[in-house]
């Protein structure tokens, strides 16, 4: 990766299920060779499988890159090349796309404004494209009939740069097939939120673990929540633990796991329970995995001898930074239901202290904010290259989790 960072943004279907990733580089807006750099990094530094797993990857491709020697370096079954709006549409480009499409390569039109002028400009490319990505903020007048006309040309229509759930709903009504934007990472706040019995029970158990309740009280609380206990025993008896003899009692499980690992499992259970009833939480769970992985790995990078307690705090700060998206209520209100320490709360809302610094840096990595990343690296006298394996490892963990979820 060298002097740039690789990022990815989910593309989801109407129900919120993950469909693909839009891949980009921090150098994309600053270098005329950014696409070449990104493709080379995907191939040599990381490996495309580690970045996208089983999903499709969309890569921006300008007019010049279509004819570049690096084109075709990545596996064509995994990549969609998105032609940029500023590309020159001429016979050379059309002939090249026709030839490459015949060889099995896949193409899209990247984030373009839906205007009569652009439709006229790009219509010669439509026979060779599979997707068109509409820049929603720059296409305020697009109607359902316009989307249908694109679909009639065998084009799959993706709404890009969707910033709110209201705009997402409008795009759904207009017939868009897939959706991309920061609305995925924003809470869909409900006026009168309610919690399922399972969620309420899990919150109570988590609070008991955080308050150092004695083992007898914990055993009793778990045994009163039969579904939670059953899932816990099933989890401990799975291949994750590879136990020689299976466990059959809640007390044995609590003793075996310990409080911190159990508290982590409890929190993941809340997200997974929501996932089962709401497809939109699948990308959310993957965000949780990515953020907690980066939090704990950054901690280890700065403090190689970090204690279990410090690792647990880093993990929980990462997870709790997204908890409001699970409950669909304001962040502070969500945290009121959990017994979090003032240290964690300050880290979440003020970016205060060491864990607040870690969270701020993780968000910078997610947003490809190179200024924020460099500030962290400079403070701790680190080179950019040390982040490459961390980012790659986190993405790989997300892909493994995605694969396990089916």
CB 79 within 8 A of CB 56: yes
| pTM assigned to the model | 0.74
Q: Is residue 375 very low, low, confident or very high in pLDDT (cuts 50, 70, 90)?
A: very high
* Range of the structural domain that residue 204 is part of: 197-404
Question: Could you read off the pLDDT of 324-343 as tens digits, one per residue?
Answer: 776 666 788 777 777 677 88
235 and 285 part of one domain = yes
Distance CA 47, CA 67 (A): 22
Q: Is residue 279 very low, low, confident or very high in pLDDT (cuts 50, 70, 90)?
A: very low
Q: Which two tokens stand for residue 102?
A: 């015949």
In a domain? residue 191: no
Angle at 102 between CA 99 and CA 104, to 5 degrees: 120
- Average of pLDDT values for 202-222? 81
Indicate the number of domains in the chain: 2
Question: Could you read off the pLDDT of 102-147 as tens digits, one per residue?
Answer: 999 999 999 999 999 999 999 999 999 999 999 999 999 999 999 9
Q: What is the SS3 assignment for 19?
A: strand
Of 155, 185, 215, the one marking the end of a domain is: 185
175 and 243 part of one domain = no
Which pLDDT score is estimated for 194?
45
Instruction: Tell me the average pLDDT of the chain.
Output: 83
Distance CA 347, CA 369 (A): 19
- More confidently predicted of 353 and 278: 353
In a domain? residue 192: no
- Average of pLDDT values for 55-82? 88
315 and 178 part of one domain = no
Q: Of 266, 256, 370, whose CA–CA distance to 319 is shortest?
A: 266
Of 153, 185, 217, the one marking the end of a domain is: 185
In CATH, what number is assigned to the domain containing residue 24?
Answer: 3.20.20.450
In a domain? residue 26: yes
pLDDT over threshold 50, residue 197: no
327 and 277 part of one domain = yes
Which pLDDT score is estimated for 89?
92
């Amino acid at each position: 990766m060298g002097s740039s960072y690789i990022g990815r943004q989910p593309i989801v279907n109407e129900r919120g299920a993950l469909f693909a990733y839009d891949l980009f580089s921090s150098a994309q807006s600053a270098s005329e060779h950014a696409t070449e750099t990104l493709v080379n990094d995907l191939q040599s530094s990381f490996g495309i499988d580690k970045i996208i797993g089983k999903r499709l990857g969309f890569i921006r491709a300008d007019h010049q890159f279509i004819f570049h020697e690096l084109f075709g370096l990545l596996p064509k079954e995994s990549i969609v090349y998105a032609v940029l709006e500023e590309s020159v549409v001429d016979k050379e480009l059309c002939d090249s796309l026709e030839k490459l499409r015949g060889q099995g390569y896949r193409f899209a039109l990247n984030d373009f404004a839906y205007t009569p002028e652009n439709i006229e400009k790009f219509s010669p490319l439509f026979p060779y494209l599979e997707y068109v990505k509409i820049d929603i903020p720059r296409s305020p007048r697009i109607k359902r009939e316009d989307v249908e006309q694109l679909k009639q040309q065998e084009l799959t229509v993706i709404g890009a740069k969707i910033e709110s759930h209201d705009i997402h709903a409008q795009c759904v009504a207009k017939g868009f097939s897939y959706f991309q934007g920061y609305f995925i990472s924003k809470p869909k706040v409900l006026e009168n939120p309610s919690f399922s019995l399972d969620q309420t029970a899990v919150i109570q158990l988590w609070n008991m673990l955080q308050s150092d309740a004695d083992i007898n009280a914990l055993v009793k609380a778990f045994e009163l929540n039969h579904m939670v206990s059953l899932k816990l025993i099933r989890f401990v008896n799975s291949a994750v633990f590879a136990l020689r003899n299976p466990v059959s009692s809640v007390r044995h499980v609590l003793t075996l796991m310990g409080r911190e690992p159990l508290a982590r499992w409890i929190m993941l259970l809340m997200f997974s329970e929501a996932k089962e009833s709401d497809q939109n939480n699948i990308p959310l769970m993957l965000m949780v995995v990515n953020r907690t992985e980066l939090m704990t790995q950054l901690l280890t990078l700065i403090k190689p001898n970090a204690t279990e307690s410090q690792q647990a705090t880093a993990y929980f700060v990462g997870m709790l930074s997204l908890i409001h998206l699970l409950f669909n209520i304001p962040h502070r209100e969500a945290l009121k239901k959990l017994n979090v320490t003032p240290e964690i709360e300050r880290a979440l809302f003020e970016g205060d202290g060491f864990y607040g610094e870690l969270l701020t840096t993780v968000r910078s990595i997610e947003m490809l904010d190179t200024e924020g990343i460099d500030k962290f690296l400079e403070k701790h006298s680190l080179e950019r290259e040390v982040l490459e394996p961390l980012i790659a490892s986190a993405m790989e963990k997300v892909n493994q989790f995605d694969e396990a979820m089916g």
